[in-house]
Amino acid sequence: MVSIMATDNYSVKKFTVKSKNVKIIGHRGSSKRAPENTISSILCAAEDKADYAELDVQETKDGVVILMHDKNLKRVAKVDKNTSEVLYKDIKKIDLGSIYSEKFKGEKIPTLDEVIKASSGKINLDIEIKNYKDDTELVKKVVQIIKNNNFENKCLVCSFDYSALVKVKKLNPRIRTGYITYLSKKDNLNLQYVDYYSIYYPKVNKGIVEKLHRNNKKVHVWTVDNIDDAKKLIQIGVDDIITDYPNVLENI
């Protein structure tokens, strides 16, 4: 795939958006500018004028909801243990920023509560529940943290696990939910407890968008890092685009 950042000669003026205003979602924040799933990355997405910052949450061994995409900490934190096997007091000791760049020395793995407080008034959040162990308690905690911060109207909650979304809606119907999918033929495009579908972008076409819109579902696409792809998706009417380069996508 050609990166959005590698496409330097595109003309913004020649491209006219024919669909409704498309919202931009920064993938794991603005993860090409700062360590993914950190407060810095979320705030960079706000600086880049993204409408939302996408992030991933899971639990530590002692049940603290933190930001982390992978089941294992090795890739981003150089610790070869699963997140669920590590206590929060030990998670807090990890200097995630220095691993990424000296510029971010001291950057920690944040809790969901910390991120919501840091982003409030700056950017909305697209919270993906990484339900690696079908954990009802994780869903309950995410919903409670959102409620405690009066953040229902400033966030989305999504997951590959539809049962987790059902639990979210039943606990708090005010929270908008999204089903993440690679879009196979067996997918139901009118799930009751879903407000939007977040779809791997090569699987999306105009017919899919129109069908979901008829079902009163919004269409998100991920992860779009090529300008030509983004333009095509905008023209066929998607509602939100998840990208690693929200600053570039904002220009078109």
Please tell me the distance from the alpha carbon of residue 27 to that of residue 45, in angstroms, as a whole number. Answer: 9
Annotated active-site residue 27? The verdict is: yes
Q: Which two tokens stand for residue 133?
A: 């162990």
Q: Which of 175, 246, 177, 183 is nearest to 209 (CA)?
A: 183
Handedness of CA 237, 239, 243, 247 (dihedral sign): positive
Chain centroid to CA 120: 16
Please tell me the distance from the alpha carbon of residue 175 to that of residue 191, in angstroms, as a whole number. Answer: 15
Q: Which two tokens stand for residue 166?
A: 């059902």
| Residue 99: partners with Cβ closer than 8 Å, 6 or more residues away | 35, 76, 77, 78
Q: Which residue of the set 22, 25, 26, 27 is catalytic? A: 27
DSSP string across 185-243 = TT--TT-TT-SEEEEEGGG--HHHHHHHHHTT-EEEEE----HHHHHHHHHTT-SEEEE
Annotated active-site residue 220? The verdict is: no
Q: Which residue of the set 28, 32, 69, 218 is catalytic? A: 69
Q: Which of 150, 144, 169 is nearest to 57 (CA)?
A: 144
Q: What is the 3-state secondary structure (H, E, C) of 121-168?
A: CCCEEEEEECCCCCCHHHHHHHHHHHHHCCCHHHEEEEECCHHHHHHH
Phi, then psi, of 52 in degrees rounded to 5: -135, 155
Residues labelled catalytic: 27, 69
